[in-house]
Structure 1
């Protein structure tokens, strides 16, 4: 009987790149903190001559013996340092003159026997990859963490930096390798196998590929939803003139981000203000007040036109209505009815301090009917006494979770490079596998899965051809990281 276990030549199927040592490379150094006057400046030195650089505790110029600074010198012995090499950090006083003097002194230590040079962009992280300290997904996660501006971005970057994505990718890779092994067994030993066994192998592999295809599709959908956290959730403020849209914006921003006036038509163009609302990056678009175009001048009419366009491309629309004025122009009513069919529309009744609670409830009932917006989407507030502002912020957080698909799980962030490889290499390989499986061409079907598994390798940096992606990964790093 045909046996599968002894016919899965894993190592012969997938070629690996082993992590290379960087011991032959010159020692490099760089300023790892920002240029400019600061309390502390950190210079990093990595390589075999790191200890040579620390031949003194107080930092003296090696040629003139002039005292440069008193610093905290921390040596991290390889391979447990960031780069996997001996790595030195000099914590200096952060003045420009001190930094320049110490960098110049380190430069002067270079000799042919002890090569020392300034680091290239991303070289510290590149060496960490070359020495096996991190794979490419973890390296990219570190970059995303550095760039994170909000709490949600920080949480999303941690998946990559801590290796959660790496584990997920390696699990996918193992499943594909198993499938390749099964198909290779058919190629090499089909003459000794029974037809029934071959059919079962094909069905087993096809089932695994289908399940994996669905899993990767769902993963990509989650990452696509999480991308809004990087770009910022687009929130558009609409309403009639003098309804208090700019006041609402200022409350959300906790600053005077927009001009507030009792003159109708103060906002003539779209004011986009990036905000951090409870850990979410939000780009709030304050638009021109929408009213009967016959009452607006030429410039205001153009502002109204732009407001309509802004509302259609936004992720969430907030309509601000004055509680002390029940009239709503048909221009605004028609727009809200259209938007309500496409996306979530929240309605804020502002200036509720000017009317009674009974009048507010009556206005909600009436406006809900006119605008075709559910009553649950209405919220009474007052920018004068802050009534309802906290409820507004909390309500927005729940909407942001829905938009970014983070209601039940943390966001997942991947780079465009990883996304492209998953689509163009991994999923495309699956599609080709199914095509050639149906044509009963097991050889090309197997090669198609090899394309998929090599795609995973490009993501993590474990296959031949890794050099072609290194430049893309590290070129965006700053010098000293």
Structure 2
């Protein structure tokens, strides 16, 4: 690739208006002027504001910033209290129209007021609500950055409708007053720098949180920690890109303390450190997805091992059919349940078995006979194995069955094959030994006999001892147990083991900082709050950093000739292109700009409408 450097200053200025007279600038001054936030320059250009939103609706949002908006902030319907929020310059005018002859309340103090119909003189016949609490918040330290008026009124549908109608009917000379569009309060908070885009997404998670862990996850994301981190990473990339482009613009006219090779190597080292941080950040984000979307648990085992019974005992209702007939469960039965504050998707599946003569198969009774599996059950078995490989936690349910030599652990060979597939896929395994009520009581004090523990270790070497639980769904259903009256069937012990496993697989990873010390654990706990949208853009950013390192690191390319050109005036055998490498850094920074909603990315505005309307 051959790139010609522009020799005409006039030509260079015409295509790069923000880089006029670059040859006469010092290196530090070039970096400063190169990375002045472009948003400041764009904000002074009304034509940019018009072009920034492609659709008419987005143009209205940008050009209608001086209007006053209002909406019902609480859920619609009958309630004790309803809150109507007003934001914009006409808040004072709206208050005076609803509460004539009363001064505006002291900022941030609740005041009891009577609301009147603004179309008629105040009287007992024009009262809208006789006992409303009014709060006034002057800008800029408000939720939207504008003047905010809150009306806490009685929540009867008729009162809410009357007050909303009074606000809409009142004409205001100084500003337009209209009902807010979906997400417009949040949009104004973003445009006035009261909230960052990651905080807004965390706000959506807060409203949809059902479990304690989801609530904690949303609270972590509500701070500005992630926003500051992404902006810091973006600034690092911008300065690294500036150093590379300085080679193109100044290497002929300026003296550098470092050689070209040393400067490129220094930038590459910075990018490697950033790549490592983002990599850990993405891995922790995947753990956060377990908390946000739910941990998928698969119950894997042979027919009649007790999978459906275990599911019913955990969820506390008869969610799956329980029968002594083998093959009762054909399809996957998914049930959402809150286990100790963790949202889980518990899946009961078809029992895994194979066709054969039936000796020792099924119930383990030793009965003989030809076993024929129908097409529907075969499909259920296929789906069961597939679901196990898609799950985050696989609970292998094995059972104690009677035999001629006494109670023994029964495991189908096909179940072992499925377990081995899960081990190869890196799944987290838990072993539940059901029907332990068939064991001798004296032997159950261990709670499993040592001989049986040895057998379990041989059959399931990938399952650690602390994740093996002896249970009895029969005792749990009856509510009595010879060993424990407070925990029949050891179901609570099994659930505590599940919760402990969840804590292990969802705990954040850590890494050393640049000085060899460990980052504070809160630094990585914030990573758990990363949304899927943020994570996907971070992955794209990481891909561009990988491309940059491949471009600038000859050791990663065995065919590279190790030659570097600072101008893009490359030899034919050169493999390192500074211009292309700088572009990879620009693309990586743009991915971070899409996350924060700030920066030079051209399609940031396309992201905003999708996020706010949620």
**Counterpart position of 1:353:** 437
8 Å contact from structure 1 (residues 246, 286) kept in 2:
yes
User: Following the alignment from structure 1 to structure 2, what is the Cα–Cα distance between the partners of residues 445 and 301?
Assistant: 53
**Counterpart position of 1:366:** 455
Q: TM-score, normalised by structure 2?
A: 0.69
User: Following the alignment from structure 1 to structure 2, what is the Cα–Cα distance between the partners of residues 151 and 456?
Assistant: 30
Bigger CA radius of gyration? 2
Q: Which of 424, 444, 463 is matched with 2:599 structurally?
A: 463
Q: Does 1:317 align with 2:377?
A: no
User: Following the alignment from structure 1 to structure 2, what is the Cα–Cα distance between the partners of residues 337 and 426?
Assistant: 33
Higher-RCO chain (CA-CA 8 Å, sequence separation at least 6): 1
8 Å contact from structure 1 (residues 289, 304) kept in 2:
yes
**Counterpart position of 1:50:** 91
Q: Which of 472, 496, 505 is matched with 1:394 structurally?
A: 496
Alignment of 1:188-267 (within 5 A): 188-191=249-252, 192-193=254-255, 196-261=258-323, 264-267=326-329
Q: Does 1:413 align with 2:529?
A: yes
Q: Does 1:39 align with 2:80?
A: yes
Q: Which segment is superposed worse, 335-344 or 347-356?
A: 335-344
8 Å contact from structure 1 (residues 347, 378) kept in 2:
yes
Q: Which segment is superposed worse, 92-101 or 78-87?
A: 92-101
SS in structure 1 at match of 2:231: helix
For residues 173 and 98 of structure 1, do their structure 2 counterparts lie closer, same or farther at Cα, with a shift above 3 Å needed? same
SS in structure 1 at match of 2:432: strand
User: Following the alignment from structure 1 to structure 2, what is the Cα–Cα distance between the partners of residues 298 and 189?
Assistant: 73
The CA RMSD measured in Å over matched residues stands at 3.2
Q: Does 1:108 align with 2:144?
A: no
Question: How far has the Cα of 1:133 moved from its partner?
Answer: 0.8
Q: Which segment is superposed worse, 441-450 or 116-125?
A: 441-450
**Counterpart position of 1:59:** 115
Q: Which segment is superposed worse, 31-40 or 448-457?
A: 448-457
Q: Which of 582, 585, 596 is matched with 1:449 structurally?
A: 585
SS in structure 2 at match of 1:149: coil
The number of equivalent residue pairs is 474
**Counterpart position of 2:103:** none
**Counterpart position of 2:411:** 328
8 Å contact from structure 1 (residues 81, 87) kept in 2:
yes
SS in structure 1 at match of 2:395: strand
**Counterpart position of 2:137:** 76
Cα deviation, 1:136-161, whole Å, max 9, x if unaligned, reads 22222222222223333333333432
User: Following the alignment from structure 1 to structure 2, what is the Cα–Cα distance between the partners of residues 62 and 247?
Assistant: 65
Question: How far has the Cα of 1:276 moved from its partner?
Answer: 1.8
For residues 295 and 39 of structure 1, do their structure 2 counterparts lie closer, same or farther at Cα, with a shift above 3 Å needed? farther
SS in structure 1 at match of 2:251: helix
User: Following the alignment from structure 2 to structure 1, what is the Cα–Cα distance between the partners of residues 389 and 583?
Assistant: 45
SS in structure 2 at match of 1:412: helix
User: Following the alignment from structure 1 to structure 2, what is the Cα–Cα distance between the partners of residues 329 and 433?
Assistant: 50
**Counterpart position of 1:94:** 155
**Counterpart position of 1:308:** 385
SS in structure 2 at match of 1:455: helix
Alignment of 1:94-173 (within 5 A): 94-173=155-234
Q: Does 1:15 align with 2:37?
A: yes
For residues 210 and 318 of structure 1, do their structure 2 counterparts lie closer, same or farther at Cα, with a shift above 3 Å needed? same
Cα deviation, 1:378-406, whole Å, max 9, x if unaligned, reads 21123324342232222212322343343
Question: How far has the Cα of 1:284 moved from its partner?
Answer: 0.5
8 Å contact from structure 1 (residues 23, 47) kept in 2:
no
SS in structure 2 at match of 1:54: helix
User: Following the alignment from structure 2 to structure 1, what is the Cα–Cα distance between the partners of residues 315 and 583?
Assistant: 55
SS in structure 2 at match of 1:323: strand
**Counterpart position of 1:26:** 67
8 Å contact from structure 2 (residues 83, 152) kept in 1:
yes
SS in structure 1 at match of 2:38: coil
User: Which segments of 5 or more consecutive residues in structure 2 lack a partner in the other structure?
Assistant: 1-24, 45-61, 100-112, 356-370, 403-407, 481-487, 510-520, 554-562, 569-577
SS in structure 2 at match of 1:36: coil
User: Following the alignment from structure 1 to structure 2, what is the Cα–Cα distance between the partners of residues 284 and 331?
Assistant: 22
User: Following the alignment from structure 1 to structure 2, what is the Cα–Cα distance between the partners of residues 26 and 131?
Assistant: 14
Q: Which segment is superposed worse, 74-83 or 443-452?
A: 443-452
Q: Which segment is superposed worse, 314-323 or 402-411?
A: 402-411
**Counterpart position of 1:269:** 331
User: Following the alignment from structure 2 to structure 1, what is the Cα–Cα distance between the partners of residues 605 and 439?
Assistant: 68
SS in structure 2 at match of 1:45: strand
8 Å contact from structure 1 (residues 39, 94) kept in 2:
yes
User: Following the alignment from structure 2 to structure 1, what is the Cα–Cα distance between the partners of residues 432 and 222?
Assistant: 40
User: Following the alignment from structure 1 to structure 2, what is the Cα–Cα distance between the partners of residues 447 and 337?
Assistant: 45
Q: Which of 462, 467, 471 is matched with 1:381 structurally?
A: 471
8 Å contact from structure 1 (residues 4, 182) kept in 2:
no
Q: Which segment is superposed worse, 449-458 or 4-13?
A: 4-13
Q: Which segment is superposed worse, 322-331 or 166-175?
A: 322-331
8 Å contact from structure 2 (residues 199, 222) kept in 1:
yes
Question: How far has the Cα of 1:82 moved from its partner?
Answer: 0.6
SS in structure 1 at match of 2:250: helix
For residues 89 and 188 of structure 1, do their structure 2 counterparts lie closer, same or farther at Cα, with a shift above 3 Å needed? same
